[in-house]
Amino acid sequence: MQINKKPEILAPAGSMDALVAAIRCGADAIYLGGKSFSARQNADNFDYNDLKIACELAHKSGAKIHQTINTVVFDDQFDKLEEFVRESVSLGVDAFIVQDLGVINIIKNICPDMPIHASTQMTIHTKQGAFLAKESGFSRIVVAREMSKEQLEDIITDGIEVECFVHGALCMSVSGQCYMSAMIGGRSANRGLCAQACRLPFSAIAGEKRCDLSLKDLSLIQYIKEMSDMGIASLKIEGRMKRPEYVAAAVTACRAVVDVKEPDMDTLRAVFSRSGFTQGYYTNKLGTEMFGTRQKEDVVSADDVFPQLQALYRKEQKITDINFDITIKDGEPTVLKATDGDGNSVTAYGDIPQKAINRPSDLEQAEKQLSKLGDTIYNLRNVTGEIQDGLMLPASAFNNLRRQACDLLDLKRTEKNTTTKSINEVPLSFPKTMNIKPKEMRIDVHTAEQLRLVDMTEIEYAIVPLCETQNLEGYVFTDKIIISLPRYTKNENAVIAQLKKAKEKGFTKIECSNYAHIRIGKILGFEMFGGFGLNATNSYALKSLAEYGLKDTTASFEMKLSQIERLADYLPYGIIAYGKLPLMLTVNCPIKQAVGCGKCEKKLTDRTNREFDVICGGDAVEILNSDTLYMADRLHEINGVTFITLKFYNETPEQVSQVIEAYKNQKKAPENKFTRGLYYRGIM
């Protein structure tokens, strides 16, 4: 770990103008998306020609390009994905930012020496998650935005870089665990098409129009020195949907702090904010202060600062010195050698000098013409050379030589900063070889009490929260219990300690809903089963989970049944077939900040008066869908899976028993509100 090394400033670019703004304002790296597989599909994004230009512009200035492939992928996209990866590598991309295990699998096979960064969509927020990422070959993790200073200090791990958001919009949900946009409108955040439903009115107070899911923007710029000292490698700015002026302001402010100068926070606030900024997660001060919406005055103030921000990136910034050495000899082409501050040298050849009629050329004239570096990245340091007496070059000849030398030097700098990587052929395979047994039934309960009336001889497994295992003392069916772990936790060591005690009591199985759980399960010797939080949407993700040692996994409920059926059986898999599906996992409770825990009614209401249950527990809360998923009468249409899971939250033991019976008998859907989820309509 390199403490006190200047951290990288990583800027967003959703367009070529934003890319230019980022580079010219001092970004060390830029992250951008292609026309496909990007978590910001509504940005302009970059086609192959744009990407080639972007890599050249960045590499000329010594900056890097990080390409986002940070969406989940379906099996029918892998041919296109393979081409996309291969082309991006050949154009000079420096790293990929990835969410999907299947995508990671393909990248490793196509280009083994390509650095891969674990996207914040992978929900890595603990030490064990960082360790698993390191062991899996990631060179960097982009950690969750909900982490406090203490959590960040704990996750810093030798051998893997940590990238942390320091400025920009905050999602209400933990990244990678939001399904609200998908469930409400079919536009998946995990597919780069989030409709930002959370910015719409959601109220924790009945009858009031409020935006209780809308957070202010994050800004940790004042803590950059502190974060640098703790070992954060990269300071990430959110904003691929934002204007280039925003990018310019954010990069300039970060650059100022890294270079030990005072940032212009007033301009940064003016260009975009939601009633100001928040540092609540970092300082561990959650609550009302963190919430805000875009107000009219926020919009008006931006218009005033755009012109001055545009001036920041109108021209190339001088980032390196240049030395010229010129040779002018009778009867020979003029020779101009140029060397930049990084030691790169090129030689340009020009006209044969003329006999001087009036004033001969000298070093003074050469310096005057060669110093006109205008819109280049070079700042003249020195001009030396040998000019024979009585010879003359016109100003135009000097100018042509200067332009030629700068162009050659640009090209050399670009080539030097573009790493050539190997590209392999990868045969795609989606086998169906296992003998799929009939669908077993599992239940997932919120409390141990919900098991009271369940006949466990008819159930394959019951999934029970870790905190509820203490209420199963002496339980006869211990071998049928799968322990579910918190999907977000601030104290991983406490979870590990609880698991050790559970194992001593005979529990042997855990559900892994994030990547830290997989490593914990391996260390402690548990049988591991994948949860929906792993977002498995394709065959190669199943293959990777099998290689991690999982027994089976739950496929993403963002998939259609037809897609689920066609998954290769590298690993047995099942689906959630009943329950109020979780739409958000949030660290900042929307009800607590509005009315406090004492007046909590455990519900949010949207603008259409639909009610969404809010479930407390541990370090995060879950916001559930307003309608219940019901598939008892459609079980014959669910094919290819080895199990179905019935997911219960606030149902009574009697209701749990009734639902199980309904599924055993494939009863018709109830008259009250229910949904088929996304199993038929799918997502974009």
Q: pLDDT tens-digit profile of 554-563?
A: 999 999 999 9
d(CA 648, CA 126): 27
d(CA 184, CA 180): 6
The answer to which of 25-39, 67-81, 163-177, 347-361 has the lowest mean pLDDT is 25-39
d(CA 17, CA 50): 11
pLDDT, tens only, 185-227: 999 999 988 999 999 999 999 889 999 999 999 999 999 999 9
Which pLDDT band, with edges at 50, 70 and 90, does 43 fall under?
low
Angle at 138 between CA 137 and CA 142, to 5 degrees: 165
pLDDT, tens only, 457-466: 999 999 999 9
Q: In this predicted structure, what is the pLDDT of residue 231?
A: 96
Q: Who contacts 59 (Cβ-Cβ below 8 Å, separation ≥6)? A: 65, 92, 413, 414, 415, 416, 417, 418
Are 341 and 401 spatial neighbours (Cβ–Cβ below 8 Å)? no
Which pLDDT band, with edges at 50, 70 and 90, does 1 fall under?
very low
Which pLDDT band, with edges at 50, 70 and 90, does 39 fall under?
low
| Strand 345-349 to 335-340 pairing | antiparallel
Q: In this predicted structure, what is the pLDDT of residue 3?
A: 44
Residue 2 has pLDDT above 60, yes or no: no
Minimal CA–CA distance to 49: which of 12, 13, 94, 91?
91
Residue 678 has pLDDT above 70, yes or no: yes
From residue 58, alpha-carbon distances to 25, 31, 496 in Å are: 12, 11, 44
From residue 193, alpha-carbon distances to 43, 72, 187, 197, 683 in Å are: 10, 12, 5, 11, 9
Residue whose pair of structure tokens reads 């004033």 in the numeric block:
359
Residue 512's Cα: distance from chain center in Å? 20
pLDDT, tens only, 243-290: 999 999 999 999 999 999 999 999 999 999 888 899 999 999 999 999
Work out the average pLDDT over 322-347. 97
Phi/psi for 613 (5° steps) reads -65, 145
Work out the average pLDDT over 25-44. 82
Minimal CA–CA distance to 234: which of 74, 12, 419, 69?
12
d(CA 684, CA 425): 29
Work out the average pLDDT over 416-445. 87
d(CA 395, CA 403): 12
HSE-up of residue 197 (Cα within 13 Å, Cβ side) = 22
Average pLDDT of the chain to the nearest whole number: 94
d(CA 552, CA 644): 12
pLDDT, tens only, 372-409: 999 999 999 999 999 999 999 999 999 999 999 999 99
At 414, which amino acid appears? Answer: T
Q: In this predicted structure, what is the pLDDT of residue 671?
A: 81
d(CA 614, CA 609): 15
Residue 41 has pLDDT above 70, yes or no: no
The answer to which of 36-40, 420-424, 626-630 has the lowest mean pLDDT is 36-40
HSE-up of residue 25 (Cα within 13 Å, Cβ side) = 33
Work out the average pLDDT over 647-659. 97
Alpha-carbon Rg for the chain, nearest whole angstrom, is 29
Which pLDDT band, with edges at 50, 70 and 90, does 426 fall under?
confident
